[in-house]
């Protein structure tokens, strides 16, 4: 039996430096059911931690306050990785951002290949922001600067 992977690869850390498409999985505080949400304000300061920001009005805030166990699905070239860990709040209102964002840091416990045997991704998921590009770029710059400082 192989030892579990407990840190991100160098390739994954690099990938998590610029607006990746990531799924955040939490447990709903009311129903107890698993939930999945797409997030893009994600940053890995190193191989053992991932930071991310979510809107302070989101149910995700309550979910993670109730149960800090999370999973992040990170898509990379040819693969998807499930990153398990516990979150803690770094900031409940990021400085320099025009609305309330909560910044979390996940301490990585385990990283697992999430692809089924004999498969690979043909392409990494991509997204487009559908609102004012200039406003989106400005907001993204503010959020990522604040996440890095948190």
114/54 Cα distance (integer angstroms): 24
User: 79 versus 3: which is more confidently predicted?
Assistant: 79
Residue 142 has pLDDT above 90, yes or no: yes
Average pLDDT over residues 13-24: 90
pLDDT of residue 99: 94
pLDDT of residue 7: 97
32/36 Cα distance (integer angstroms): 13
* Domains in the chain, CATH or no CATH each: 10-149 (2.30.110.10)
17/2 Cα distance (integer angstroms): 29
CB 94 within 8 A of CB 43: no
pLDDT of residue 26: 98
pLDDT of residue 76: 86
pLDDT of residue 19: 78
- Give the model confidence (pLDDT) of 53-90 as tens digits: 999 999 999 999 999 999 999 998 899 999 999 999 99
Average pLDDT over residues 114-120: 94
Average pLDDT over residues 119-138: 89
CB 7 within 8 A of CB 47: yes
């Amino acid at each position: 039996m192989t030892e579990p992977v407990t840190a991100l690869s160098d390739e994954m850390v690099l990938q998590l430096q610029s607006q990746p498409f990531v799924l955040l999985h939490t447990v709903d505080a009311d129903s107890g059911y698993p939930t999945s949400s797409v997030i893009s304000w994600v940053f890995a300061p190193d191989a053992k931690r991932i930071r991310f920001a979510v809107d302070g009005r989101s149910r995700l805030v309550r979910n993670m306050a109730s149960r800090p166990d999370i999973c992040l699905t990170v898509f990379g070239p040819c693969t998807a990785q499930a990153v398990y860990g516990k979150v803690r709040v770094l900031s409940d209102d990021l400085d320099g951002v025009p609305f309330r964002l909560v910044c979390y840091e996940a301490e990585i416990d385990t990283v697992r290949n999430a692809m089924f045997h004999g498969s690979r991704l043909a392409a990494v998921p991509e997204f487009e922001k559908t609102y004012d590009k200039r406003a989106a770029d400005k907001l993204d710059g503010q959020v990522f600067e604040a996440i890095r400082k948190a």
